[in-house]
Structure 1
Amino acid sequence: MSHTGQWKVRLDLFEDDDGTTKAHLVLDTGTTALTGHGTAHCHPADTNVPEIGDKLAAGRALVDLAHQLLETAERDIQGMSAPRPGTRQTAGQAL
C-alpha cells in the first residue's frame, strides 16, 4: 500500500535586546499540530552574531519537535490492539 503526504513547517525566530534568541516551530500534519521551542543565549563577553543564535535556537526547537514526534508515535504504537512483533502474550491478555 502506497502512502504520500505533505506536512507544513513554520519557523519563527525572535531576538531580544539581551541577546536571547527564541525559536517557535510549528509542524502541521493536516490532522495534528505540534509546536517546538528552542532558545539560545549570547554570553555578554561574546560578540553578538544573530545568525549563530538563530541556528542554535532553531536546532533546539527541531530537537524538541523530534522528541515530541517520537513520543507521539510511541503512544500510537502502544494504543494499537495488536501485539508488537517479537512480544509474547501471556494468559489473560486480550489480543
Structure 2
Amino acid sequence: MSHILEWKTRLYLFEEDGTTKARATLDTGTTTLTGHGAAHRNPADTDVPEIGDELAAGRALRDLGSQLLDIAERDVESVGARSGERTDPVLGWSL
C-alpha cells in the first residue's frame, strides 16, 4: 500500500548585533513542531553573515529533528515495542 504525505518546513533567520537566531517549523498537517537555534559572533571575528546563518539554521534543524525522533520513539513504545538506544532498530525502524 502506498503512503504519500507532504510535510511543510519553514526556516526563519533573524540577525541582530552579532547574533543570528533561527526558527524551523515543521507542519505535518496534524502537528506543528518548532526548533530553535542561535549563533553568536565573537566581536573579534570577521563579520561573515552566511556563517551565522548556517550555524543557527543547522542548530534549529537539529533541534527539530531531535524532537521528531523523540516523538517517534514514544510512538514506537506506545504500540508495545521495546525501547532502546536510538542506534538500535526498533520494530524494524532504525531510530
**Which category describes the TM-score, using the shorter chain as reference length?**
0.7 to 0.9
Matched with 2:50 is 51
Q: Counterpart of 1:10?
A: 10
Query: Which residue is equivalent to 2:85?
Result: none
Task: Give the direction of change, closer, same or farther, for the CA distance of 1:54–1:82 in structure 2 (3 Å limit).
Answer: closer
Structure 2 spans left out of the alignment, 5+ residues: 83-89
Are 1:69 and 2:74 matched, yes or no? no
How far has the Cα of 1:4 moved from its partner? Answer: 0.5
Q: CA deviation at 1:52?
A: 0.7
Deviating above 6 A after TM superposition, structure 1's stretches of 4 or more consecutive aligned residues are: none
Q: Which residue of 2 aligns with 1:60?
A: 59
Distance in 1, matches of 2:51 and 2:41, equals: 9
Superposed CA deviations along residues 35-86 of structure 1, whole A, max 9, x for unmatched, are 000000101100111111000000000110110010000001111146765x
2:77 is matched with 78
More strand by share: 2
Coordinate RMSD, CA, aligned:
1.5
Question: What's the TM-score, normalizing by structure 1?
Answer: 0.82
Structure 1: unaligned runs, 5 residues or longer: 86-95
Q: CA deviation at 1:24?
A: 0.5
